[in-house]
Amino acid sequence: MADQGIEKKWYVVRAVSGQENKIKTYIENEIGRLGLEDYVEEVLVPTEKVIQIRNGKKINKEKVYFPGYIMIKANLSGEIPHIIKAITNVIGFLGETKGGDPVPLRPAEVNRMLGKVDELSLEADANVAIPYIVGETVKVIDGPFNGFDGTIEKINEEKRKLEVMVKIFGRKTPLELSYMQVEKV
């Protein structure tokens, strides 16, 4: 019964943060169980690859970059919105008004959300954007001061280093750390 004529658009499902991948699986299983694959083409949790250094080793982690949001390419006709909303930990659709219909994403928004995924996988290593700003509080995750919180005083883009002011034994001490040795608090 695969009907190619069913028009599908991207929607955003709001979900409980931290459960995105689990909910994606629930949605896929439920759609499969009900035989609605013709209506729901793709369920996607936008993630980015993040490189962290732990104990001197580089670790690639997938980080959800829109926590609490799951993208779904579907034709939300008939019961489908209700089926999706009934899934555990799904809060609802983004952009729906009370009693109204879910609002699809505009193509530009989809490209931005999806384009970000492609862009990142290509040059994840080449140029990690500077994710930090002066005055921001960060946690040191590598080196002798692992676990300490500090405030960013300076950012050296060429060397990809941060000067972080850490309180050690009640005294403020500046540390020079690479981007990979800290994470946002």
Residue 72: the pLDDT is 94
Are residues 83 and 156 both part of a single domain?
Answer: no
Question: Which of the listed residues 71, 92, 123 is the one where a domain comes to its end?
Answer: 123
- The predicted pLDDT at position 109 comes to 78
The pLDDT of residue 116: 56
pLDDT at 115: 63
Most confident by average pLDDT, 29-43, 49-63, 116-130: 29-43
Task: Read off the pLDDT of residues 155-173 as tens digits, 9 standing for 90 and up.
Answer: 887 777 899 999 877 888 8
Range of the domain at 76: 9-123
Q: What is the pLDDT of residue 99?
A: 64
128 found inside a domain: no
Q: Is the pTM of this model over 0.75?
A: no
Q: Residue 123's pLDDT is what?
A: 42
Q: Give residue 67's pLDDT.
A: 85
What confidence score (pLDDT) does residue 13 get? 93
* DSSP letter string, the chain: ---TT---EEEEEEE-TT-HHHHHHHHHHHHHHTT-TTTEEEEE--EEEEEEEETTEEEEEEEESSTTEEEEEE---TTHHHHHHTSTTEEEETTPPTTSPPPPPPHHHHHHHHHHHHHHHHHTTTT------TT-EEEE-SSTTTT-EEEEEEEETTTTEEEEEEEETTEEEEEEEEGGGEEE-
CATH number where 161 lies: 2.30.30.30
Q: Are 95 and 157 in a shared domain?
A: no
CATH classification of the domain holding 91: 3.30.70.940
Residues 105, 15 within the same domain: yes
Q: What does the pLDDT look like over 45-91, one tens digit per residue?
A: 988 777 777 788 888 777 887 889 999 999 998 899 999 999 999 99
Final residue belonging to a domain, choices 75, 90, 123: 123
Tell me: pLDDT of 17 over 60: yes
Q: How confident is the model at residue 122 (pLDDT cuts 50, 70, 90)?
A: very low
Q: Are residues 67 and 43 located together in one domain of the fold?
A: yes
Q: What is the pLDDT of residue 87?
A: 94
Number of domains making up the chain: 2
Question: Residue 146 pLDDT > 70, yes or no?
Answer: yes
